[in-house]
Amino acid sequence: MFSKKSIRKSFLIQLIFSSAILIFIFSSVLYFYIEKSVYDEKKEELIHYAKNIANYKSVFQLDDSISENFLSINIEIIHLKSPMGDMDVYEITKKNQTYLTLIYPFKLDDASYLKITKNITPTKRLLNKILHYIFIINIASFLLVILYAVMLSKMLVVPIKTLNMKLANMNEHLMKPIDLNALPQEFEPLGETINHLIARIQNFVKYQKELFIGTAHELKTPLAVIKLKNQVTLIKKRSPEEYIDALKTTNKTIDEMNIIVSNILNIGRQEGAQLDKPVEVDVISILKQKADDFKLLAENEGKHLLMDFKPDGYMATLQVSLLNQIIQNFLQNALKFTPKEKHVLLRSKEDEYGLLIEVIDEGCGIDESVDLFAPFKRQGNKSGVGLGLFLAKSAADALGAKINIKNREDGIEGTVASLQLNSKLSCIIPRN
């Protein structure tokens, strides 16, 4: 019924154990309170009798149960060798009969004392019955607690079972978000997390399908070109120069195929990098290093790479290779589409989400209606396979970061590629 590490089993044991202790303590306190109240009453009754006798009054005064009390008490005067400072009350049992005895000072000058003994066997039996009933009530209460604990534990795991059934019936072709309104308030954070995971899986499946279809299409076209060129070349004899041109065309097409294959291999490497252990690094230092690497490349192409990093330091726990891949892709695209003598800006700043990293170029802009993160999606008139942003999106998802590309809104043509790192895994380095 329960697994080795069952939360429900642990809950049941703790609830039953704590309830049993509570019932035991409550019952013990109740019984001892009743017993003390009864004995105090009997003790006060004996003291009352003793005071009446010491004051030479009627023993029972106006007591309605004179005959009953008279039969159950025994009064005598005793003399003690050594005087006793105060009265004494004690209980004795003889022949299954219980007696409560009071020794009360009568005449201190001759060390005489009143010894009043009362048969409290009926009272003792009544207390035993009360104890017996309390014991039975405790057993019944304990059984009810067990039943309540089992029912409560079942009720608590119902949402988990519901989530489990919904997730078990899902597959990559039929994945629907969980209705958070149908969950208890305590399980809403779990439902939100699962819905986020479902959305990521849906995007992954979608992009994987597009990747497979796009790969087949991209590889099929150059293969068809190679085959057609070879067929044309084999129709009749040609000059050596024509054969050389045909081979050059074939090699060019093969190079294009190699680029596609290399990018697909990068996807596999990236998935492996997602399993790397995150390390604590200074993101600002990584950005500065990347900027230095691309600054020379920009100068060689007649372009200008500008930098603006805030704050001075920002520690984050992440996979460095994935962050490098995103920033490198942003800078490569920005420099590719930015004309000569134009500027590319790499900057960072804090926002309400965490650290915002932006690459702003002065290129031709993008069509924002197109999903640029899908595989083999290309923009502009520059060559490329169209897998760079797909890889960047996958890396950002693995980092738990947000990625976005949009057109500039400051009146200058170009794009803004942004990456937002979550502040939950980051902290600012104190400035000197």
**Dihedral (CA of 50, 51, 54, 56) sign:** negative
CATH number, domain of 79, equals 3.30.450
Strand, helix or coil for residue 191: helix
* Contact (CB, 8 A) for 273 and 320: no
**Dihedral (CA of 370, 372, 375, 378) sign:** positive
pLDDT at res. 358:
94
User: Above 60 in pLDDT, residue 61?
Assistant: no
pLDDT at res. 348:
93
Q: Is residue 411 part of a domain?
A: yes
Q: Is residue 219 part of a domain?
A: yes
Residues 178, 127: one domain? no
Q: Is residue 236 part of a domain?
A: yes
Residues 291, 408: one domain? yes
CATH number, domain of 314, equals 3.30.565.10
Stretch among 255-264, 291-300, 378-387 having the lowest mean pLDDT: 378-387
Q: Is residue 156 part of a domain?
A: no
User: Above 60 in pLDDT, residue 44?
Assistant: yes
Which residues neighbour 28 within 8 Å (Cβ) at sequence distance 6 or greater?
none
Residues 254, 301: one domain? no
* Contact (CB, 8 A) for 55 and 105: no
* Contact (CB, 8 A) for 344 and 332: no
Q: Is residue 160 part of a domain?
A: no
Residues 285, 411: one domain? yes
Among 241, 272, 303, where does a domain finish?
Answer: 272
Closest to 332 measured CA to CA, from 366, 367, 361, 368: 361
Q: What is the DSSP letter of 424?
A: G
Q: Is residue 150 part of a domain?
A: no
User: Above 70 in pLDDT, residue 335?
Assistant: yes
Residues 124, 228: one domain? no
Residues 34, 66: one domain? yes
Among 272, 294, 317, where does a domain finish?
Answer: 272
Stretch among 53-62, 91-100, 256-265, 351-360 having the lowest mean pLDDT: 53-62
Stretch among 9-18, 52-61, 259-268, 291-300 having the lowest mean pLDDT: 52-61
Cβ contacts of 246-250, under 8 Å, gap ≥ 24: 249/225, 250/226
Q: For the chain, what is the mean pLDDT?
A: 80
Residues 217, 268: one domain? yes
User: Above 80 in pLDDT, residue 104?
Assistant: yes
Among 272, 289, 324, where does a domain finish?
Answer: 272
Residues 102, 205: one domain? no
pLDDT by residue (tens digit) across 202-260? 777 776 776 676 667 667 767 777 777 777 777 777 778 877 877 887 887 787 777 77
Residues 407, 307: one domain? yes
Number of structural domains the chain divides into: 3
Residues 252, 220: one domain? yes
Residues 384, 399: one domain? yes
Residues 301, 342: one domain? yes
Domain that holds residue 396: 279-428
Q: Is residue 19 part of a domain?
A: yes
